[in-house]
Structure 1
Amino acid sequence: MLRHHFNIITAILFLLFSSFLATAQLVEEPKDTPAEWSKPYPPFRIAGNLYYVGTDDLACYLIVTPKGNILINTGLASSLPLIKANVETLGFKFNDIKILLTTQAHYDHMGAMSAIKKATGAKLMVNKKDAAVAADGGSSDYALGGHGATFEPIKTDRLLHNGDVIKLGDMQLVMLHHPGHTKGSSSFLFDVKDGDRKYKVLIANMPTIVTEKKFSEVLTYPDIAKDYAYTIAAMKKLTFDIWLSSHSSQFGLHSKNKPGSVYNPTAFMDRIGYDEAIRDLEIQFFKKD
């Protein structure tokens, strides 16, 4: 009888271990992932209650409120310890993260999302158009999918639509639907207070083109050209004081902030740089098809 029970337990453990291995093999970051995506970068205060807690190039943002904190983007799965350390280096508790947001459902911004959600109990809010890709770990993404999951699949707690407001404590963030890069790429617009001054902040998901195919050949995303055109036009009309993005290289972080430099929110007030970036992306868009 004991041997019979032992054999059953052994079989169960073998199945569980096999399932774990299968999952581990399924969720695999592309081998050409840039080194700067996981390179550490010192966390710092951008403006008011907004902080940078990301890596050298993958931008992650912490918004602190009296009722808990909001984390936008998580970088790669391997960056979880780094993100956690950055949050705690700034003097905040990792478990105080209550809301998780993302600018796009790609592995370089969603890699550690599931693990952070499990560790903190935070609620994940995703653009409705990206929710299916989040749920299958990126395997159905029109550009990067097709070869299995690239990040751990995760269920969305709240589906967001264009113009929806995310509230926590004294903060209100407006989600802006900016599709193209992914079907549910999102930007966030909100105010932060800094002493007697207030800054309107835009965390922009820049409409970079990731597919090597012609737009007319992207059969799983028939509206891709229309979505890119919409996003570029919409982003031209936005007004803000400070702009940031999903990648530090897109908004010139390294030229605007040097590790250990004096706190200076005005360094990120760069309308000219934003307009130039959008104009360059528009040129690439017109050349595509």
Structure 2
Amino acid sequence: MSRLSLYPTLLFLFIVSMSFGQKATTSSNAHSDWTQPCEPFRIAGNLYYVGTYDLACYLVTTSQGNILINTGLAESASMIRSNIEALGFKFSDVKILLNTQAHYDHVAAMAAIKKQTGAKMMIHEGDAQVLADGGKSDFALKGKENYFAPVKADRLLHDGDTIRLGETTLVALHHPGHTKGSTSFLLTVKDENRSWKVLIANMPTILPQTRIMGMPAYPKVGEDYKYTLDAMKKLQFDLWVASHASQFDLHDKRKPGDAYNPAVFNDRAEYDAQLDTLTQAYLNRLKTEK
């Protein structure tokens, strides 16, 4: 059996285990790969990976300063800084902070990094309140273990909005469901040989706590998931990465010390297979809730 034919089954098992892991416990001890160090590296052009082993954080460099997307857990703030500096960039040059989803595993270090750099925080309006109250108003994840230091956004984003810094422009794509303001980003980066259109995807996984038929704090969650799954299938890009390294098989595609090779992230078949599996998970959830 081919690797691709096995992929939907393996991905489903990963999604289930990851989701139930969040339900059972949210401590970093339960997800050691969330705080495990990872070698920072150049993905393509002026886009770099600066996250932990599984919590993906991205640095976009420009002539007018840099953009940091996601921060991981609170205890990872110093690691993110070290990764940025190991690549030869100044931490103080981070001018804009972005986020793919306002869950503690992607924003808990945001307050500290914002304070240290003075960067402007930009987030989709759907996640702005959750960010501002440190996770207390999240529609699905409840409990102190899911809280984080609150951050007030300097700019609220909407679907299709552009974020410009220097010669780089990112387009914010609203992909709600996992959170109300879940966001993917499209940008074009350039290296010495060519340009690459890159998708930083927030894959629409479904938490066990989420009721697709609707929840008091999020009545349209099912409709939003359907919209997101349909919208993401229509996107066009050259390379793609995601909010978790495990979602795009980072550690199979790249080993520590590997030479610069953007082409390893040119894997449309994997992206489509993941969306097919997530669509089936959505349909299965609908059946169980009826």
TM range (shorter): 0.7 to 0.9
Q: How does 1:70-109 map to 2 (within 5 A)?
A: 70-109=67-106
For the residues of structure 1 that align with 2:30 and 2:193, how far apart are their CA atoms? 42
Q: Deviations over 1:225-262 (max 9, x none)?
A: 00000000000000000000000000000011100011
CA contact (8 A) 2:198 2:238 kept: yes
Q: Partner of 1:200: helix, strand, or coil?
A: strand
The correspondence for 1:139, drawn from 127, 136, 141, is: 136
The correspondence for 1:211, drawn from 180, 194, 208, is: 208
CA contact (8 A) 1:36 1:57 kept: yes
The correspondence for 2:148, drawn from 151, 174, 195, is: 151
Cross-structure match for 2:115: 118
Q: Deviations over 1:15-46 (max 9, x none)?
A: xxxxxxxxxxxxx9647641110000000000
Matched, 1:127 2:124: yes
Matched, 1:64 2:61: yes
The correspondence for 1:182, drawn from 179, 184, 197, is: 179
Shift of 1:145: 2.8
Q: Deviations over 1:241-286 (max 9, x none)?
A: 0000000000000011100011100000000000001111000000
Bigger drift between 219-228 and 30-39 goes to: 30-39
Matched, 1:41 2:44: no
Cross-structure match for 1:275: 272
Identity in percent: 58
For the residues of structure 2 that align with 1:202 and 1:168, how far apart are their CA atoms? 18
CA contact (8 A) 2:96 2:119 kept: yes
CA contact (8 A) 1:87 1:94 kept: yes
Q: Partner of 1:175: helix, strand, or coil?
A: strand
Cross-structure match for 2:8: none
Question: One-letter code of the match for 2:101?
Answer: Q
With normalisation by structure 2, the TM-score equals: 0.88
Shift of 1:147: 4.2
Number of residue pairs aligned between Structure 1 and Structure 2: 262
For the residues of structure 1 that align with 2:156 and 2:62, how far apart are their CA atoms? 22
For the residues of structure 2 that align with 1:206 and 1:213, how far apart are their CA atoms? 15
Matched, 1:233 2:230: yes
CA contact (8 A) 2:56 2:72 kept: yes
The structure 1 segments of at least 4 consecutive aligned residues displaced by more than 6 Å after TM superposition are none
Q: Deviations over 1:109-148 (max 9, x none)?
A: 0010000000000000000000000000011111113547
For the residues of structure 2 that align with 1:67 and 1:112, how far apart are their CA atoms? 23
Q: Deviations over 1:69-126 (max 9, x none)?
A: 0000000000011100000000000000000000000000001000000000000000
Matched, 1:54 2:51: yes
Matched, 1:198 2:195: yes
Q: Partner of 1:215: helix, strand, or coil?
A: coil
Question: One-letter code of the match for 2:153?
Answer: T
Question: One-letter code of the match for 2:208?
Answer: T
CA contact (8 A) 2:140 2:210 kept: no
With normalisation by structure 1, the TM-score equals: 0.88
CA gap 1:29/1:118 in 2 versus in 1, 3 angstroms: farther
For the residues of structure 1 that align with 2:103 and 2:146, how far apart are their CA atoms? 10
Question: One-letter code of the match for 1:80?
Answer: A
CA gap 1:276/1:136 in 2 versus in 1, 3 angstroms: same
For the residues of structure 2 that align with 1:176 and 1:193, how far apart are their CA atoms? 21
Cross-structure match for 1:20: none
CA contact (8 A) 1:139 1:148 kept: no
CA contact (8 A) 1:95 1:120 kept: yes
Between the two structures, name the one with larger relative contact order (CA 8 Å, sep ≥ 6). 2
Shift of 1:213: 4.7
Which is greater in Rg? 1
CA contact (8 A) 2:199 2:237 kept: yes
CA contact (8 A) 2:134 2:151 kept: yes
Question: One-letter code of the match for 2:47?
Answer: L
Let me know the Cα RMSD of the aligned residues: 1.5
Q: Partner of 1:188: helix, strand, or coil?
A: strand
